[in-house]
Amino acid sequence: AAGVIQSPRHLIKEKRETATLKCYPIPRHDTVYWYQQGPGQDPQFLISFYEKMQSDKGSIPDRFSAQQFSDYHSELNMSSLELGDSALYFCASSTPTGNYGYTFGSGTRLTVV
C-alpha cells in the first residue's frame, strides 16, 4: 500500500542556509500535518493543511513557511537555519476527520552545521 513519502531522507545544511522539505500524502488524503522531533523529544506540531488551506498552526518559527499544492503534496520551507533546527521532521496525512489515524512518513533528518 502507498505510504506517506518524504524527501529528502537526510539533509545537511550550514547555518543561515535554507532548506525545503517535501511531503507526498497517501492518495485521497487531503490533510497534511508537519511535526518536528528534536533529539530525545516527542514530536511537536508545526502546521497543518486541509484542502490547500492552512488549518492549524503550532510552534512553527517565523523563519519557516509551508504550503499545500493542488496535488496535495506539501513543502516546508526553512530559512536562516539555526543549529537548533537540527531535528527529524515528520509529515503525516489523514482524511479530514482523522478517525482512521494519521499515517506518518519516515521523516527527513535535518542536520544544521
Q: Which residues bind another protein (CB under 8 A)?
A: 31, 33, 42-45, 48, 50, 55-56, 58, 90, 92, 96-107, 109
Rounded to a whole number of angstroms, the minimum distance from the CB of residue 80 to another protein is: 25
In whole angstroms, give the CA distance from residue 58 to residue 65. 12
- Taking the least distance from each CB to another protein, the nearer of 45 and 67 is 45
- Taking the least distance from each CB to another protein, the nearer of 55 and 86 is 55
Rounded to a whole number of angstroms, the minimum distance from the CB of residue 75 to another protein is: 18
Rounded to a whole number of angstroms, the minimum distance from the CB of residue 25 to another protein is: 14
Rounded alpha-carbon distances, angstroms, from residue 45 to 2, 15, 73, 77, 109: 24, 23, 18, 15, 16
For CA atoms 92, 44, 89, 47, the dihedral sign is positive
Question: What is the CB-side half-sphere exposure of residue 35 using CA atoms within 13 A?
Answer: 18
- Taking the least distance from each CB to another protein, the nearer of 9 and 16 is 9
Return the number of other C-beta atoms located less than 10 Å from residue 13's C-beta.
16
- Taking the least distance from each CB to another protein, the nearer of 8 and 58 is 58
